[in-house]
Amino acid sequence: MTFSRWPYPVLIALALLILPVISLGLAAMLAYPGLPSLEVLTDYRPKIPLRIYSAEGSLIGEFGEERRALVQISEVPEIMKQAILAAEDDRFYEHGGVDYMGVMRAAFSNFTSGGVKQGASTITMQVARNFFLTREKTLSRKFNEVLLTFKIEHSLTKDEILQLYINQIFLGQRAYGFAAAAQVYFGKPLNQLSVAEVAVLAGLPKAPSLYNPVASLQRAKLRQQYVLRRMHELNFIDDEQYQLAQQQPLVIMRGSQEFGVKTDFLAEMVRQSVYEKFQDQTYTQGFKVYTTIREKDQLAAYQAVRKGVLDYDRRHGYRGPEGFINIPSGSSSASYSADQLEEALLEVTDGDDLIPAVVLEVSPKLIKAYCRGGEIAEITGDALDFVQQALSKKVALNQRINIGSLIRLQKDDMSVWQISQLPQVEAAFVSGSPRDGAIYSLVGGFDFNNNQFNHITQAWRQPGSSFKPFIYSAALEKGFTPATVINDAPLIFDAQQTGNEPWEPKNYDGSFEGPMRMRHALIKSKNLVSIRILQSITPQYAKDYISEFGFDPSKYPAYLTMALGAGSVTPIQMLAGYSVFANGGFLVEPYIIQRIEDAQGNVLNKASPEVAGISAKQIIDVRNAYTIVSMLQDVVKHGTGIRAMQLGRQDLAGKTGTTNDSIDAWFCGFHPTVVGIAWMGYDQPRSLGDRETGGGAALPIWMSYMERALKGVPEAVYTMPDNMVALHINDEGLRDDNSPRIEYFYQENVPPEHSVATPSEEMKPAESFKDQLL
């Protein structure tokens, strides 16, 4: 009896073991045919650079770097190959693409250290990733990387794979490949390098920006010592070579080109645009692209986004250390070597001025930390206020700052160390000329190195109240005026009216103020007034109307929720839309490339932008544009954008935008010479916080940029167009010469004089809902 039953548990156990293997095998079978072709590997050719320039002619970006020197594997000195293997993959010639022993070794090391200190990527895996795959950290990407690694190993010999790696790996200073790097850093060919020098180069692939000897000779030496130690352990060099290499001084070639401003997002946009025109020639012909980007504007925009995001992040408190690095109990900067600390920080991503550091000492009054690069920072006094809670033993361990905690440090304007953190929120800013659409600045996100998603062109977000000016503009074409009185009172709609579910809209503050003039409603961003306006002109009319501004009508279903910006836009679309108001009613298309030249200076392509008032299509009456500008100036002077008055100018106009639950925050505004769009939100939409609005989160970014962009620019005045009149009106929107209030009207829409109108007469363009006014 017992004998007859014992196989069942065994069979179940075997099934549990076999099923995952079968599933994995099936997944591999399905994914393998879709893997990229290896032709790009077998027909690999060097690429000379695509260079990108600012409007002033300064180099701001480069792709397809010309600093390449292809070498055959037989030409690579043995000591160079050994240094590479020691640093990156010492079992390269033994494994089949995935080093299972290395995986287990790294897993054990990471488990025992309590953090991620070792990786297990082989040289073949790096080739697969660098040639074909993104750096997103997902299981599917990693799975495809492993499959592609096997495919490469099956198709190419080990020497061919290593040759690809040696020729194409990025090593900093715009150098691709070890032969090019030898020239860049040491001014020598590979066969003239010393053991000490090959160790420097072999240490670069791990983190070329970190261990770049031009940027930091100290960090480069720390990495070099690690590589030399590995070479010695693997018997690639003997004791004498090891000691001599450790002592040899390094003479580094200097004079490399550094870009003056951060332009990663726009440079990538240019690269994609040029590639669409010239395909693979983009990287082989030495094209020069001159953009519309103004250096001072770009710098101002970049710094504005960084400050805006970090200020927001600081308002919402410290989330705790970024990670933990195991430092033996009782260790300090004296007993725990800089080499070990640099190695511990090796895998930590860069964050521009957010410098990663390891805590060495901690108390309620002092934090001492080792910064990447070797500096020891001390944080005391008020600089500890931000992290006081994290210094308490009452908080969870993963939120507490202890010895070994990985934190971010930043120097303030007084060069005092402050504790910061990598923000989770994103923001973007773009500015341009309303005259012809030339883009002056573009920052697509907080940090391109951590997130390449360009929020200016790729992020479809709800614009919230920043979309109301377009609805108001449509209403002006239907006979509304800024003096039209509309009721700010509750409304309830059923699912058929909204296209979704029953809806009882509210104003942001939850209050209602009754009948008010349309200008006043925009100043105070009254949602119920906007809905009544849209109800009067009809959603379908508004949908057709906004498409003239360049918005995608498919993103705006013809429902009343459109009044509150419930559709989807990109910041670049908002730039084009607001430019129409700023330039008097003309549609200009934002553009970033002025011209493209070949290596000899011949112009291959030149922009021919439509110019407002000359060749651009006029999509709204100049009187309409003037009226909207006038109301948007009052939004800045008296309404939700009043914070911008701190700039001390009277010629600014704009509108805040805050979506439901404060998921998106906007400020879209302009001066007659420049339009700017600022946005903030999370990539995975969630609330920015109950008290966060467009005026508090996005407007400071816009202000920071405009303060610098308009420095020295004289005050501008919008001139009232022909066929308009300025009249004195009373609170009811009627002509009243005794009132100090002035309003602007189309000649044909002048309100009645000295008559007491009923609500329906005051709201003549909206008779269809006069009952809701009463």
What residue type is assigned to position 160 of the chain? E
The angle at the Cα of 274, spanning 273 to 276, to the nearest 5 degrees, equals 65
**How many of the other CB atoms lie within 10 Å of CB of 268?**
17
- Partners of 62 in the beta sheet? 51
88 annotated active-site:
yes
∠ CA 589-468-304, nearest 5°, is 65
Q: Identify the three-state secondary structure at position 419.
A: strand
Indicate the helix (H) or strand (E) that contains 14.
Answer: helix 7-31
Q: What angle do CA 370, 372, 375 make, to 5 degrees?
A: 50
Q: Is the dihedral of CA 120, 125, 127, 130 positive or negative?
A: negative
Residue from 692, 658, 633, 668 nearest 525 by CA: 658
Going by the DSSP 8-state scheme, the letter that residue 516 receives in this structure is: E
Catalytic residue among 465, 473, 536, 662: 465
Q: How far apart are CA 122 and CA 145, in angstroms?
A: 11
Known catalytic membership, residue 466: no
Query: For the chain, how many residues are written?
Result: 774
For 723, the token pair is 């066929």
Q: For residue 99, what are the CA distances in angstroms to 102, 148, 204?
A: 5, 14, 21
CA distances from 321 to 359, 396, 404, 409 (A): 10, 11, 10, 11
Residue 773 and residue 487 in contact, taking contact as beta carbons nearer than 8 Å: yes
Burial of 498 (0-12, 13-18, 19+ CB in 10 A): middle
Q: Where are the alpha helices (DSSP H) in 281-426?
A: 295-315, 338-344
61, 134, 149, 60: which is closest to 103 by C-alpha?
A: 149
**Active-site position among 88, 153, 343, 762:** 88
Q: Which residue, 447, 419, 426, 450, is CA-closest to 318?
A: 419
For residue 364, give the nearest of 330, 382, 391, 401 by alpha carbon: 391
Catalytic residue positions?
88, 465
